């Protein structure tokens, strides 16, 4: 289990690095939108490339940030129901959701989208709009984003199993590893026992 928890921490570091990096894409998209609006109003000149790069950046933030969102437990939950359940029941629901829904969905999306990326790359597919951008980079965000989500889902699955077996802290807390990037080998077990005593 310790080796699996080490793997989980490595995946978490990757998700954290990507999540904290893509935040800057929001600023870039905002600046591009501002410049585009000023040019259009001041000089009556528009650019489809400027418009398309904005939704490329939005797609990058949304898709590449999905794993980081999962790690931070910031995704949508039906809290009005789940908060009424015992903690272990919530963990089991998460495990079933990851195994039977999230991971199969990631596999399907990667398998479905990758041929489209390769076809667009081989053909040099361009936007149908005048002055638009090449398409394959934004298509590639789909398999890459779902691959990152699958990785983080694996990490979350490990953390939930570790909690149930008394080897890790409550993964439903922010960050999953006790709110710290690194958790010592002794801390997870004590956190789990504290949680058990609290119940």
The 10s digit of each residue's pLDDT in 107-155 is 999 999 999 999 999 999 998 888 889 999 999 999 999 999 999 999 9
Give me the DSSP letters along 99-158.
IIIIHHHHHHHHHHHHHHHHHHHHHT-B-SSTT--BSHHHHHHHHHHHHHHHHHHHHHHH
* Domain edges within the chain: 2-191
pLDDT in tens, 52-97: 999 999 999 999 999 999 998 887 766 667 778 888 888 998 999 9
Alpha-carbon torsion, ordered 3, 9, 14, 19, to 10 deg: 150
How far is Cα 136 from Cα 127, in angstroms, rounded to an integer? 10
Contact partners, residue 13, CB within 8 Å, separation at least 6: 181
SS3 content of the chain, % helix, strand, coil (to 5): 75, 0, 25
Per-residue pLDDT, averaged over 173-192, amounts to 46
Q: How buried is 184 (Cβ within 10 angstroms: 0-12 exposed, 13-18 middle, 19+ buried)?
A: exposed
CB 16 within 8 A of CB 174: no
pLDDT given at position 174 = 57
How far is Cα 28 from Cα 50, in angstroms, rounded to an integer? 11
pLDDT given at position 199 = 43
């Amino acid at each position: 289990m310790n080796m699996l928890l080490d793997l989980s921490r490595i995946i978490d570091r990757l998700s954290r690095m990507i999540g904290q990096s893509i935040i800057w894409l929001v600023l870039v998209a905002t600046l591009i939108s501002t410049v585009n609006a000023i040019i259009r109003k001041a000089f009556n000149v528009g650019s489809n490339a400027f418009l398309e790069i904005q939704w490329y950046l939005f797609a990058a933030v949304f898709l590449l940030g999905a794993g980081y969102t999962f790690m931070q437990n910031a995704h949508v939950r039906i809290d009005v129901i789940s908060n009424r359940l015992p903690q272990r029941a919530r963990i089991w629901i998460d495990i079933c959701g990851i195994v039977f829904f999230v991971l199969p969905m990631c596999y399907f999306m990667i398998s479905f989208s990758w041929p489209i990326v390769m076809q667009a790359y081989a053909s040099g597919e361009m936007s149908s709009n005048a002055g638009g951008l090449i398409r394959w980079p934004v298509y590639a965000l789909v398999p890459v984003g779902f691959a990152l989500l699958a990785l983080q889902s694996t990490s979350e699955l490990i953390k939930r199993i570790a909690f149930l077996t008394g080897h890790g802290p409550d993964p439903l807390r922010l960050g999953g590893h006790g709110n710290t990037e690194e958790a010592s080998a002794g801390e997870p077990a004590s956190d789990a026992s504290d949680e058990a005593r609290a119940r």
